[in-house]
A and B are shown apart, each in its own frame.
Chain A
């Protein structure tokens, strides 16, 4: 198991050092600094073995988090834990920075004592932790409160406490998708996938039992065969505002769920039921590859004129309903290292050559569907005797669109709270779809 956990600043000075196992000594702290942080070459692996001691590290801004062990630990677990540790710290004191860590070092030690025992990760849900690890000192707790805390920390529903009350029961669903694309210069899709998340913000009283439904192909097909079912009733409940057209159902390649979702039930019936944590949680993540709506198409044209000039023309075409607007559009056209000057002409938006980033950045605030726009640039190059050809990095794009490129639609989210007297109809529900660019690249 994890033998120790160290946090360093960018210089390699230790900010936090917590050792859990006897086989990890103080020298491990230095070994990591010398061999990884101060290493002359860029680190080639997130797992490093130094003198039979393994170091796992992740970096957040300029802070290094390193877990150390001498055993054959579950490596995936260690990284998941480090990420979780970052989440917990962020939830407690915001951004992970040297200053914040120093300001909260007592808290961090307290957290580390709680969420890692003898190197075994323990309950690390912030919701539960915040009930008994606080920055403002320990509240005096009644006996009931204490046992409530412990049963929550260890309980089946470790992510929610009992007795939550809201005057207005409300929930927000965000379907956030990032669409990834790799396209050849000829416009052939080399790979494309959507990775999406359903983020739920709920302000519900009691211990609400929820059921979530979407236009999952497997479920829809099953219903089609089996005739009308209870779910049909929820159809009108929540409508999606799809962008690409009326797709009935989508094929989900794979999905993962927050730990509140009953996985065995999903496996057996493909129904998503759960008691949500209070506040915000990421209910599910999913991935689709079939029938993706690619919101933009990038058509590049790069021509080398002699050895000292490049002509670049890039056309972008939006590909969704004309009534919808895409926002925050940014096209990044890489330029060679030996660029000496750039002249840009664009029809829409603003374009600038950023020498420090070796790219022409073209920004468009808004663009409606089924439109196209164009930029052309002349790049002047300094003559070099460097034999190596310019690697021509791909043209990348950023944008945000108000629909789900995968075609996913929320069909319903039903809430039951058997003990309290509010019903599904009393809950106010909001759904929002946001499609963003992930890695959206076109080679040129």
Chain B
């Protein structure tokens, strides 16, 4: 109320009595005074008092104490007073439900008033009072008002249905209001139609599957007729509703388009944008060779350009939408580059958006103009804008090859300005240009090096270091340059540190003789003195790589990099399609699907562009084929997400913070450089038996003389490695009890290691890979680094199958799920790795199982607490119970899973090893075993062979015990060990087994007896899996 006081002064200027005086009461006892005034006999005084109350309410004062007094003023002929009282009621009824009921009678009476304005006012207000008791009384008046003779009342009542639905959806359905509302679509008054459409659309949104709107050619026709007649707002409601319709064929689609195009000339920008939405959507269905299709494309451009002369806020909305439209159909605006030129006085948000669109429209034809503009912008004042302009020059170079040279020289000019942030931004983009046109512009490196000292931003420093490392052989003093960075190694950001490490290794591989000392220095800095696990791990990997096989190291580190693609930061096609369906709305402004910012059920439904219909099918011309997107999921992999991070990822420049760098997708052929070292490269080192020569046994190296330049490095490695596994290691990285003497089960190791965020799947899969490679030469190699050696092959510990990809990203809009099952301390765990390979953030994860053979069900929610950003990976352990609903599956251990996130629901099925269900108390008494064995009919016995198992019977027995397969007795007959074992499943089924092991014979025979013989096959599979791993 500060300003209320100030108002006293203002008042002396105006001699007339004004309403602002109501804001001036600040004295004590005010409520009491108001109460007296409200109960005054004089009408004028009453009205004054109510005005004061409303003024207090506006500024956030609690005047709810006056409720009964205000409501008493309600019965009046004075419409102005009535409206004020209603306003008060809407605000406070919820806090005083009992007293609000006092108002009901007046409402009901007003709904019968002769004046349509009063009837409408009553029904409008009643709908805003969210009190159950009042809602009950609302039904009858509302029913009457929906059929009122006056259109003004009907249009108000139509909206009231939506209000009531928001309060009590069931009531609306029970009372049959939805049908009445549907009837109003055929009303003679266009505004009634428009409001009914708005109300129905809103209600339909919360019932995604109901056929509420029931759009069919007849109702569409009605809507199109009303479209020509109703207010500008009504036109928006109708167009937005039309956009949800899918025409039956291209002919219907065309006829709707024809009737919608006149709206493009409407003065209201929202009408225009909604019309554009309908057209963009329905165009999908038109055959491209149709004349009309071309006409329509031409008609779209002028109104879009006109939107740019609207007020700046609307320009912003328009530009965000044009950004989408240009990505979807670049042909529409390709000749309109000039209108996106930035004006000096544009607000910054308009400038930045225009810049974005300029780059998208840049082509060989207009590049000269664009560059001239960008150069101009690079000298402006706003730092963000200038940076973006500089970056845009780089993107032009990458996009339009013919212009690359000009762009590079423009960038060099800008570097000469010595404006710090311009120089840094320029260096970052020049690095990208090198990636696109290798061996072409390296002559500029000298200029870049001159500016080395002025770089203070991590991204720019990292880019510069990458350049020096990549072109080390051409830079005479590369070692000096890198060494200069090394001095303050620990003060650098992680991205710079990682880059420096890689660059120096590159340098070493290129000029091994002069740089030994440098490489040792950086390796020890990274491995010994750093707390950062990513840095340390990368250090170790390089070290190990260099020490074991420099040739392989060269192949890995200096591998040829694929060229970066032209178009960066495009929106992923599926998201783009969805956003096109949301043109004009907030989703199109945020470039996010509605589910990303809308709570609750609303807007979760995903909109899709319609598919082309068969009737007019034509072969798509190749140029638009990729842009059409509608049916081009194959285009997806070539799309690169947001500029900075992604380029970084591709280049493995670590431009993004390490936590966001996900594991490389398998077989994409994009993994290389640093990432490769962490992921694929490691796999091949550790697990790939087909290529053992790559990795000579470590012991061999020990004995054989090592290659001269490497030997010091090697010994150093060895030292560090032992040091690492014996002394304190960082807690977040290896299991707490990691010393070799204490045997922790390998499963736990795997889990813990995988838990380190940056290691992701690369190491998550390690336990599975390790056993295979155990016999392979690397034995003590990298495995030891992570202390896995100690754990593998331990007698204790349940078998955990390797993680497999259950749900590929292709099928789940970018969500990749791999996982496995484990049994830990009697609890079944589903261990999942969720990787976000899409470009939007994923949130709201949930999981559900279908009914399955053993009643497996999640025992808790899926714990993904933080949103999963693009390229992020998260490991989740989901405890399972066995008390869920049961249904026999085929195969028996099949599990159907549904995973939901903010984007969609995805389904996949996986098979769990039945050993997960083996309970800890499955050891039978000998006697019971004998009796049971005899008791189970011989028909239920099945026999299997396990081949190529080299364990002796004791080893096998202890191994099996780890998975809760208990040996009860052992007998040796004629050199053949017979092991008798028992297993109890979580649902109480007992399985008895006889395992025959013949010394020297790698083939075991196993007989299984069970009352439920169906499980035998699964149990046998477990035996095989456990014994062989």
Residues of chain A touching chain B, judged by Cβ–Cβ distance below 8 Å, are: 1, 9, 11, 13-17, 19-23, 26, 29, 42, 44-47, 49, 52, 54, 56-58, 69-77, 79-83, 98-99, 102-107, 109-110, 113, 117-118, 120-125, 132, 137-138, 141, 143, 146-147, 149-151, 153-156, 158, 182, 184, 190-191, 193, 195, 253-259, 262-264, 266-267, 282, 284-285, 287, 387-389, 391-394, 396, 439, 441, 443
Which residues on the A side are within 8 Å of B266 (C-beta)? 256-257, 259, 263
A52, B586: Cβ atoms under 8 Å?
no
Contact with A along B189-232 (1 / 0, CB 8 A): 11110010010001000000000000000000000000011011
20 contacts between A and B (CB under 8 A): A9-B3, A14-B60, A21-B166, A46-B313, A58-B313, A79-B317, A122-B191, A122-B195, A123-B231, A124-B233, A154-B189, A155-B151, A155-B189, A190-B369, A256-B272, A263-B266, A264-B228, A266-B265, A285-B306, A287-B302
Main SS at interface, chain A: mixed
Residue of A22, A150, A259 near B232 (CB, 8 A) is A259
B122-133 interface mask toward A, CB cutoff 8 Å, 1 = contact, 0 = none?
001001101000
Dominant SS among interface residues on chain B: helix
Interface size on B, residues (CB 8 A): 116
The answer to whether B327 has its CB under 8 Å from any CB of chain A is no
Q: Is the CB of A387 within 8 A of B584?
A: no
A258 to B369, CA, bound (A): 36
Alpha-carbon distance A191/B338, docked complex (angstroms): 6
Residues of A within 8 A of B1023 (CB): none
- Whether B198 lies near A47 (C-beta < 8 A) is no
Shortest B386–chain A CB gap in Å is: 9
Min distance, Cβ B875 to any Cβ of chain A, angstroms: 27
B19 touches A106 (CB 8 A): yes
| Inter-chain contact A253/B602, CB cutoff 8 Å | no
In angstroms, Cα B159 to Cα A254, docked, is: 35
Asked if B599 and A70 sit within 8 Å, CB to CB, the answer is yes
Beta-carbon contact of A266 and B262 below 8 Å: yes
Given contacts A143-B114, A254-B305, contact A106 B379 (CB under 8 A): no
Check A77/B236 contact, CB under 8 A, given A102-B23, A154-B151: yes
Q: Is the pair A441, B344 in contact by a Cβ cutoff of 8 Å?
A: yes
Which of B51-59, B548-556, B990-998 participates in binding chain A? B51-59
Q: Beta-carbon contacts of B286-330 to A below 8 Å, as 1s and 0s?
A: 000000000000000011011001011110111000000000000
Is A439 a contact partner of B345 (Cβ separation < 8 A)?
Answer: yes
Closest A residue by C-beta to B118? A146
Contact of B117 among A52, A82, A150, A151 (CB under 8 A): A150
B585 CB contact (under 8 Å) in A45, A46, A74, A394: A74
A72 to chain B, nearest CB (A): 4
- Check if B584 sits within 8 Å of A391, measured CB to CB: no
Q: A120 to B198, Cβ gap below 8 A?
A: yes
Partner of B261, one of A44, A267, A443: A267
Known A47-B316, A102-B20, A124-B233; judge A117-B159 contact (CB<8 A). yes
B232, B263, B313, B373: the one within 8 Å of A79 (CB): B313
Stretch binding the partner chain, chosen from B102-110, B587-595, B779-787: B587-595
Contacts of A257 in B (CB 8 A): 265-267
Q: CB < 8 Å: which of A44, A109, A123, A184 contacts B54?
A: A109
**In-complex Cβ contact of A45 among B23, B306, B349 (8 A):** B349
| B79 in the interface (beta carbon within 8 A) | yes
User: Count the A-B residue pairs with Cβ separation under 8 angstroms: how many?
Assistant: 291
Give chain A residues whose Cβ lies under 8 Å from the Cβ of B597: 49, 52, 54, 72
User: Within residues 393 to 431 of chain B, which ones have a CB less than 8 A from any CB in chain A?
Assistant: 417-419
Q: How far is the CB of B414 from chain A (nearest CB, A)?
A: 11
Besides A79-B313, A79-B314, 8 other CB < 8 A contacts? A72-B585, A73-B586, A99-B20, A150-B153, A155-B189, A155-B191, A156-B190, A254-B305
Question: Is residue B907 within 8 Å, beta carbon to beta carbon, of the partner chain?
Answer: no
Q: Which residues of B contact A392 (CB under 8 A)?
A: 379
* A149 in contact with B159 (CB, 8 Å): no
Give a binary string over B52-71; 1 marks a CB under 8 Å from any A CB, 0 the rest. 00110011100000000000
Q: Is the CB of A393 within 8 A of B344?
A: yes
Judge whether B497 is part of the interface by a CB distance below 8 angstroms: no
User: At the interface, yes or no: B846 with Cβ under 8 Å from chain A?
Assistant: no
State how many angstroms separate the Cβ of A195 from the closest Cβ of chain B: 5
Q: Kindly state whether residue B529 has any CB partner on chain A within 8 Å.
A: no
Q: Which of B80-88, B535-543, B668-676, B697-705 is the contact stretch?
A: B80-88
Cβ-based interface call for B247 (8 A): no
Contacts of A121 in B (CB 8 A): 233
Contact status B191-A118, CB under 8 Å? no
How far is A283 from B657 in the complex, measured between Cα atoms in Å?
Answer: 56
CB distance from A298 to the nearest CB of B (A): 14
Question: A147 with B344: in contact, given A76-B269, A106-B80 (CB under 8 Å)?
Answer: no
CA distance in complex: A122, B381 (Å): 43
Q: State in angstroms the CA–CA spacing of A120 and B79 once bound together.
A: 23
Contact with A along B563-586 (1 / 0, CB 8 A): 000000000000000000010111
Bound complex: CA A437 to CA B318 (Å):
24
Nearest B residue (CB) for A259: B232
Question: Bound complex: CA of A429 vs CA of B588, how far in Å?
Answer: 45
B823 adjacent to chain A (CB < 8 Å): no
Tell whether A106 pairs with B54 under 8 Å between CB atoms, given A74-B274, A191-B338, A264-B262: yes
**Closest approach, in angstroms, between the C-beta of A315 and any C-beta of chain B?**
21
Interface string of B443-486 (1 = CB under 8 A from A): 00000000000000000000000000000000000000000000
